[in-house]
Amino acid sequence: MPDAGKRSKFEIVAREDFSDVTYLLEVYHPLMAKAAHPGQFVIVMSHEHGERIPLTIADFDRAKGTITLVIQAVGKSTREMQQNCQVGTALHGVAGPMGIPSEISHARKTAFVGGGLGVAPVYPQARAAKEAGAYVIGILGFRNKGLMFWDDKFRRCCDELIVCTDDGSAGVMGPVTKGIRVAIDGHPDIDEFVAIGPPVMMKACAEATRPNGIRTVVSLNPIMVDGTGMCGGCRVKVGGQIRFACVDGPDFDGHQVDFDDLMSRLKRFKQEEHAALERWSENCRMRGVVTAGASSASGRDAADAADDLAASFDPYEEAKGG
Amino acid sequence: MAKKKTIRTIPQKRAPIREQAPAERVRNFSEVSCGFRVDDALHEAERCLLCPDPACVAGCPVSIDIPGFIQKISAKDFRGAYDVITDTNLLPAVCGRVCPQETQCEGVCPVGETLEPVAIGRLERFIGDQGIQEGWTSIPYIEPNGFRIGIVGSGPAGMACAADMTKAGCEVTVYEAFHLPGGVLRYGIPDFRLPNDVIDAEIENLRRLGVRFECNTLVGRLFTIEQMIEELGFDAVFVGTGAGYPSFLGVPGDSLNGVLSANELLTRCNLMRAKDAGYDTPIPLGRRIAVIGSGNTAMDAMRVCLRLGADKVHCIYRRTRAECPARAEEVHHAEEEGVEFHWLTNPVEVLGDDKDNVRALRCIRMELGEPDESGRRRPLPVAGSEFEFEADLVVVAIGTNANPIIGQTSKLKLNRRGYIETDANLATSMAGVFAGGDIVTGAATVIEAMGAGRTAARSMKAWLGIRDTDRVYETGRAGGDGKRFGIDVRERNYARVRIA
């Protein structure tokens, strides 16, 4: 049963900040590390009064007994976690691993597409495919070179790696769909694509592969409460049918998914989210809390940054992982 | 024994119950019913005829010795009454509040043939509340037998099974996927029907009894039922995971923003405390709300919506009031609070605005045709009777299907509807694994689930070769002569019970 050793339950044993808004947490949970498979997710509560937020398991280490989460600070909860989740602290709750594990297909040649934060959850799948003996092509998309992460990890498990950046500061300039074209042109025999990232990116990927009829698996991360099939908040339309991403997914056939429906449903709590973020930022300002963001080159304080986010950023635009 | 009471000699009227006035209570989440005071309880206890062959006990899914505890109330021995109830039911404060007594114990009470039946539920709640207030627990002497029992799901079925197995001397661990134990009591039933501190108190009692609760544990995914037996060293497992998986309307507009399941609404409100300041979980609010369905869950959802500040709440049900599956009391409360019922009405489409938010519901009038397989007259649409009404939130409470996780992750045999298949003793297709509650029967009541938990516990004990000590544990405090039903407790339970 859960290790009663020196580590406390759900303790954060390592943290890495990829950028002002993206961070990695390695959480001690030996049972979860043992049970986790690529493609699964956890529901995290950072504190007793917190929300239950779904986060894809970006990696797991069975020997160390840890799972890795990569999080983008976009809403109140994820920004608060960015501030509070330091090594040695513990999360209030971590439940999972949820969802049906990704099928490690017998495809001989598979391309793994990760956009932004989606790079993290696609990694264990790429690694598993490599271990299963497939020819693995990695296609990673970032806004710019500064936001790039885990390209080294991918290099180790990919036979070929294509990096795309919006501004061309690294690799190919353009969206990941450009990378997909490059991959298909170079390898007309790709059996399968796996694409994880913001819904709009997964939609574009599905459209990019549709003409070639190449199977394209996407991993959906809609708004959830329980993650166990009980609330139906995460329902998505796949092939005209209602499916629950938490227990029927999160992987679905990208050519069947109604992405417009998904993107619309991701905006369900937009107003409430903005209000919560504003309240929280205000609270931070009152308490004079300075977040990691404050040390950024821009020199502005975190509360201002959060205000900007509240005003401009759609928390679900890049919902994957946050 | 005192002179035999008759229907003529008992108090003719029920003790009055104090309730928050409807206009007042729709603005808060405090309990509607304030419960009996001591005088009320004594008055009501006098109304029991103490039948020698009590129908109420037979009508109770867990066979509480109802005349036994009422007699103790009459004797002002509330602690004794508590011990009698907790003999068979560890959760009196919960069951006194949420059981459908009118179709169970009170429904068969002979007093009810001429007068209003004895208010058994309210008496049970009275004793349960006394227990919480006074910090009572009925902890018997338990002789450990070395067996380890794993229970999947901390709802009413799991709790009942856990209590019985712990009392029998087993080491019991209850696994819960949520961060707090209680199952449907926690996420489903709102505070104004079942306050959270009542659940906390009853769970604390189980903990004191020796039950271990492990939250944040999704059995099936974190480890499987097979692993529980083969690797984690459990001698037997009980699966009481509940139904879950809500149905949606299957009409156009079903996935618009503002259409959600009653489960989601209730979970956000009850478990995640979205209604309370300082909690992060958002909850969708509406001004004009349509709730589809008219079971107890629908009633809860409607009354939650009113308390969250809705201007108007409509109940849409395709049959008539006569077929409405909710408890009469719940319908009555909802009506008092201003819910508008639209019987014989069925939604055909949810209409959205340009931002994919719900703006209206299109419905059709229904009429009743021939009886269907459920014995109820089948509702049929009336051609050309479609109409629209404005709504900004649509809450769907039309039932649930079997949760797929256990099926996905174990070899347990399921029926064609996805529920776990069991025999009459609630044994599943896997040796040592028992199941009960909604995951076997489909959605039912709290007390039926508890009854199933107890049945499974009996089977488990038989399977493990533990001598069944079903109706036991007189601690000596109550009785004096140590006798129950004329049987010496020591004699029946010499192996495990020590008279204190």
CB B365 within 8 A of CB B260: no
> What length does chain A have?
322
In the predicted structure, residue A115 carries a pLDDT above the cut 50: yes
Separation of CA B8 from chain center: 35
Contact B177 A226 (CB under 8 A): yes
Average pLDDT over residues B271-290: 87
Residue A222 C-alpha, separation from nearest chain B C-alpha, in angstroms: 13
Distance set, CA A10 to CA A31, A90, A121, B9 (Å): 11, 5, 20, 63
Residues of A in contact with B148 (CB under 8 A): none
In the predicted structure, residue A321 carries a pLDDT above the cut 50: no
Distance set, CA B368 to CA B293, B374, B385 (Å): 16, 13, 15
Contact A49 B232 (CB under 8 A): no
User: Any chain A CB within 8 A of the CB of B216?
Assistant: yes
Average pLDDT over residues B360-370: 93
Residues of B in contact with A228 (CB under 8 A): 177, 218, 244, 403, 405
Residue A9 C-alpha, separation from nearest chain B C-alpha, in angstroms: 11
DSSP sequence for B30-79: S-SB----HHHHHHHHHT----SS-HHHHHSTT---HHHHHHHHHTT-HH
Question: Measured between alpha carbons, how far apart are the two ends of chain B, in Å?
Answer: 26
Report the number of secondary-structure helices (H) and strands (E) in chain A.
10, 15
Rounded to 5°, angle at Cα B51 from B455 and B112: 90
Residue B358 C-alpha, separation from nearest chain A C-alpha, in angstroms: 11
Banded pLDDT at A203 (limits 50, 70, 90):
very high
- Rounded to whole angstroms, how far apart are CA atoms B332 and B210? 40
- Rounded to whole angstroms, how far apart are CA atoms B40 and A159? 79
Banded pLDDT at A105 (limits 50, 70, 90):
low
User: Any chain A CB within 8 A of the CB of B58?
Assistant: no
Average pLDDT over residues B439-459: 88
In this predicted model, what pLDDT tens digit does every residue of B217-253 receive, in sequence order?
999 999 999 999 999 999 999 999 987 799 999 899 9
Average pLDDT over residues B279-304: 91
Contact B282 A272 (CB under 8 A): yes
Residues of B in contact with A223 (CB under 8 A): none
Contact A230 B218 (CB under 8 A): no
Residues of B in contact with A237 (CB under 8 A): 255
Find the residue in A nearest to B355 (Cα).
A264
In the predicted structure, residue B55 carries a pLDDT above the cut 80: yes
Contact A265 B245 (CB under 8 A): no
**What six digits make up the tokens of B349?**
């489409």
Q: Nearest by CB to A231, from B222, B261, B273: name it.
A: B261
Which SS3 state, helix, strand or coil, does residue B311 take? coil
Q: Return the axis-axis angle of helices B296-307 and B328-336, rounded to nearest 10°.
A: 20
Find the residue in B nearest to A33 (Cα).
B222
User: Any chain A CB within 8 A of the CB of B353?
Assistant: no
> What length does chain B have?
500
In this predicted model, what pLDDT tens digit does every residue of A127-144 receive, in sequence order?
988 988 889 999 999 988
Q: Which of A57-66, A267-276, B207-216, B482-491 has the lowest mean pLDDT?
A: B482-491
**What six digits make up the tokens of B398?**
């039309």
Portion of chain A with pLDDT greater than 90, in percent: 42
Average pLDDT over residues A303-307: 40
Chain A interface, mutation test: which of B172, B263, B269, B280, most A Cβ atoms within 10 Å?
B280
Average pLDDT over residues B32-51: 92
For residue B2, the model assigns a pLDDT of 55
CB pairs under 8 A between A and B: 122
Residues of A in contact with B280 (CB under 8 A): 49-51, 76-77, 276
For residue A7, the model assigns a pLDDT of 77
Residues of B in contact with A31 (CB under 8 A): 222-223
In the predicted structure, residue B103 carries a pLDDT above the cut 50: yes
Residues of A in contact with B173 (CB under 8 A): 1
For residue B433, the model assigns a pLDDT of 94
User: Any chain A CB within 8 A of the CB of B278?
Assistant: yes
Banded pLDDT at A5 (limits 50, 70, 90):
low
Contact B244 A273 (CB under 8 A): no
Residue B300 C-alpha, separation from nearest chain A C-alpha, in angstroms: 15
Q: Which of A54-63, A217-226, B1-10, B484-493 has the lowest mean pLDDT?
A: B484-493
Residues of B in contact with A230 (CB under 8 A): 187, 242, 244-246, 263, 267, 403
- Rounded to whole angstroms, how far apart are CA atoms A57 and A270? 25
Q: What is the CA radius of gyration of chain B?
A: 23
For residue B86, the model assigns a pLDDT of 87
Q: Return the axis-axis angle of helices B120-134 and B78-88, rounded to nearest 10°.
A: 110
Chain A interface, mutation test: which of B219, B221, B398, most A Cβ atoms within 10 Å?
B221
Residues of A in contact with B174 (CB under 8 A): none
In the predicted structure, residue B4 carries a pLDDT above the cut 90: no
Residue whose C-alpha is closest to residue B215's, from B250, B173, B180, B182: B180
Q: Nearest by CB to A228, from B272, B278, B405: name it.
A: B405
Query: Which B residues 383-442 touch A at CB under 8 Å?
Result: 403-405, 408
Average pLDDT over residues B444-456: 88
For residue B108, the model assigns a pLDDT of 93
Q: Return the axis-axis angle of helices B66-74 and B120-134, rounded to nearest 10°.
A: 60
| Mean pLDDT, all residues of chain A | 83
Chain A interface, mutation test: which of B225, B264, B355, B406, most A Cβ atoms within 10 Å?
B264
Contact B257 A97 (CB under 8 A): no
In the predicted structure, residue B406 carries a pLDDT above the cut 80: yes
Find the residue in B nearest to A241 (Cα).
B250
DSSP sequence for B5-21: P-TTTS-SSPPP--B--
DSSP sequence for B359-422: EEEEEEEEEEEEE-TTSSEEEEEPTT--EEEE-SEEEE-S-B---SHHHHHS---B-TTSPBP-
Most confident of A302-306, B43-47, B278-282: B43-47
Contact B403 A226 (CB under 8 A): no
Distance set, CA A297 to CA A19, A292, A293, A300, B191 (Å): 11, 11, 9, 8, 49
Banded pLDDT at B468 (limits 50, 70, 90):
low
In the predicted structure, residue B266 carries a pLDDT above the cut 80: yes
User: Any chain A CB within 8 A of the CB of B222?
Assistant: yes
Sign of torsion, CA A111 A104 A65 A81?
positive
Contact A95 B177 (CB under 8 A): yes
For residue A308, the model assigns a pLDDT of 40
Q: Nearest by CB to A261, from B242, B255, B268: name it.
A: B255
Contact A232 B280 (CB under 8 A): no
Contact B232 A1 (CB under 8 A): yes
For residue B328, the model assigns a pLDDT of 85
Query: Which residues sit opposite B381 in a β-bridge?
Result: B366
For residue A168, the model assigns a pLDDT of 85
Banded pLDDT at B442 (limits 50, 70, 90):
confident
Contacts of A62 by beta carbon, 8 Å cutoff, 6+ apart: A33, A34
Contact B245 A231 (CB under 8 A): no
Q: Which amino acid appears at position B146 of this protein?
A: G
Contact B221 A45 (CB under 8 A): no
Contact B263 A232 (CB under 8 A): yes
Sign of torsion, CA A88 A89 A93 A94?
negative
Contact B221 A93 (CB under 8 A): no
Query: Which residues sit opposite B172 in a β-bridge?
Result: B149
Buried b (16+ CB within 10 A) or exposed e, B293-317: bbbbbbbbbbbbbbbbebebbbbbb
Residue A227 C-alpha, separation from nearest chain B C-alpha, in angstroms: 9
Contact A98 B246 (CB under 8 A): no
**What six digits make up the tokens of A238?**
């796949």
| Mean pLDDT, all residues of chain B | 87
In the predicted structure, residue B482 carries a pLDDT above the cut 60: no
In this predicted model, what pLDDT tens digit does every residue of A270-291 receive, in sequence order?
878 778 888 877 777 776 654 4
For residue A306, the model assigns a pLDDT of 39
Residue A228 C-alpha, separation from nearest chain B C-alpha, in angstroms: 8
Question: CA torsion angle for A205, A207, A209, A212 (degrees, to 10)?
Answer: -170
Residue B439 C-alpha, separation from nearest chain A C-alpha, in angstroms: 12
* pTM listed for this prediction: 0.86
Q: Nearest by CB to B246, from A31, A92, A232: name it.
A: A232
- Rounded to whole angstroms, how far apart are CA atoms A115 and B25? 50
Separation of CA A130 from chain center: 21
Residues of B in contact with A242 (CB under 8 A): 248, 250, 254-255
Q: Which of A151-155, A275-279, B391-395 has the lowest mean pLDDT?
A: A275-279
Q: Is the complex ipTM more than 0.85?
A: no
Buried b (16+ CB within 10 A) or exposed e, A73-98: bbbbbbbbbbbebeeeebbbbbbbbb
- Rounded to whole angstroms, how far apart are CA atoms B448 and B459? 16
In the predicted structure, residue B394 carries a pLDDT above the cut 90: yes
